[in-house]
């Protein structure tokens, strides 16, 4: 039994901008304004908040693509709802990613490697337990970020911060007052529901004066109609109205409801 084989474009080659982006222009403009400020030497934390499926990660992806267009490299760190994740793992990902996308001198690489060694127990014979809560460890990460941004601004993206481990939240809270003096933007996506019951340090970060909070609302009927037209290549008022009625403007459900239409086109 052999099915029909259809050739499809590799998903790995798809860019965030290839997916229709509607209803988020104002939010993207706020992120881009922070990137422009970072080019002038003033950093900021940007928290993109909203319910599951509202488009937080997609907005962050488009922001990273926009940063690339401005000549600003970006790196990602992912917080996962897994007990097995070691402390500080999102920041380990960020620092390693920043080394990959930035052209750094041997001296800067050494400083970043030292910060990574302090964050990763497997890289140190003494482990991180003795210094995990000390300001010396946090300051080492801040110094590594200062070295990484000495040659130009940098964008770091933390996805699903509501699932970050307590150690990572302490580190993020430590960096919040430091970021205004760095050409650095940290974009963090966070689910509202989890954040309300999360560690108090996350609330400390979200309420900091150098943290800009962007709340994403559900899409409007006009947004859904625009997405439908862009995706299908033609206006489909009845389809868009039906999709909005069933999705209530949640982008994830909107995309899933429309998938049979554009995949069969």
Confidence of residue 12 (pLDDT cuts 50, 70, 90): very low
Name the band, by pLDDT with cuts 50, 70 and 90, for residue 11. very low
pLDDT at 253: 95
Instruction: Using pLDDT thresholds of 50, 70 and 90, give the confidence band for residue 264.
Output: low
Distance CA 45, CA 155 (A): 10
User: E strand or H helix at 159, and its extent?
Assistant: strand 154-159
Q: What integer is the mean pLDDT of 4-13?
A: 49
Confidence of residue 127 (pLDDT cuts 50, 70, 90): very low
| CA atoms of 29 and 154, how far apart (whole Å) | 18
Name the band, by pLDDT with cuts 50, 70 and 90, for residue 198: low
How far is Cα 4 from Cα 2, in angstroms, rounded to an integer?
7
Give the residue-averaged pLDDT of 33-62: 96
Query: What strands lie across the sheet with 154-159, from one edge to the other?
Result: 74-78, 154-159, 184-191, 44-50, 211-215
pTM of the model: 0.87
Q: Which of 127, 157, 140 is nearest to 48 (CA)?
A: 157
Query: Rounded distance, CA 64 to CA 30, Å?
Result: 13
User: What pairs with residue 156 in β-bridges?
Assistant: 75, 186
CA distances from 187 to 33, 48, 158 (A): 13, 7, 6
- What does pLDDT average to over the chain? 87
- In degrees and rounded to multiples of 5, residue 45 shows phi and psi of -95, 135
- Residue 129, φ and ψ in degrees, nearest 5: -55, -40
2 against 57, higher pLDDT? 57
- Taking residues 57-69, report their average pLDDT: 96
Are residues 213 and 44 in contact, defined by beta-carbon separation less than 8 angstroms? no
Q: How confident is the model at residue 50 (pLDDT cuts 50, 70, 90)?
A: very high
Region 13-38: what's the mean pLDDT?
88
Q: Are strands 211-215 and 44-50 parallel, antiparallel or unpaired?
A: parallel
Q: Using N-to-C axis directions, what is the helix angle for 106-119 and 135-148, rounded to 10°?
A: 150
Strand partners, 171: none
Residue 186 main-chain phi, psi, to 5 deg? -110, 115
pLDDT at position 3: 54
For residues 129-145, give the mean pLDDT: 78
CA distances from 222 to 228, 240, 244 (A): 10, 9, 9
Give the closest residue to 184 by CA, choosing from 219, 141, 220.
Answer: 141
Mean pLDDT of 148-161: 96
Quick one: average pLDDT of 33-61?
95
Q: What pLDDT does 204 receive?
A: 84
Please report the pLDDT score of residue 260 as a whole number.
85
Look up residue 251 and give its two tokens: 């982008």
Least confident window among 85-94, 174-183, 190-199: 190-199
């Amino acid at each position: 039994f052999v099915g029909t084989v259809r050739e499809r474009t590799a998903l790995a080659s798809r860019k965030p901008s290839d997916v229709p982006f509607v209803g988020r222009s104002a939010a993207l403009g706020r992120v881009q304004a922070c990137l422009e400020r970072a080019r002038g030497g003033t950093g900021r934390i940007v928290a993109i908040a909203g319910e599951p499926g509202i488009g937080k990660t997609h907005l962050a992806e488009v922001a990273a693509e926009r940063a690339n267009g401005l000549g600003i490299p970006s790196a990602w760190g992912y917080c996962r709802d897994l007990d097995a994740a070691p402390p500080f793992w999102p920041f380990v990902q960020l620092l390693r990613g920043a080394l990959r996308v930035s052209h750094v001198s041997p001296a800067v690489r050494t400083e970043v490697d030292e910060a990574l060694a302090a964050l990763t127990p497997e890289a140190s014979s003494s482990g991180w337990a003795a210094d995990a809560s000390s300001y010396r460890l946090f300051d080492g990460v801040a110094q590594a970020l200062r070295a990484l941004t000495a040659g130009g601004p940098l964008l770091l993206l933390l996805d699903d911060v509501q699932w970050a481990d307590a150690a990572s939240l302490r580190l993020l809270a430590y960096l919040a007052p430091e970021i205004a003096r760095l050409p650095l933007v940290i974009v963090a996506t966070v689910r509202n529901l989890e954040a309300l019951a999360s560690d108090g340090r996350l609330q400390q970060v979200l309420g900091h004066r150098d943290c800009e909070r962007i709340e994403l609302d559900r899409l409007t009927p006009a947004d859904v109609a625009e997405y439908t037209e862009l995706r299908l290549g033609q206006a489909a008022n009845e389809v868009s109205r039906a999709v909005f009625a069933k999705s209530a403007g949640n982008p994830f459900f909107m995309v899933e409801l429309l998938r049979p239409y554009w995949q069969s086109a």
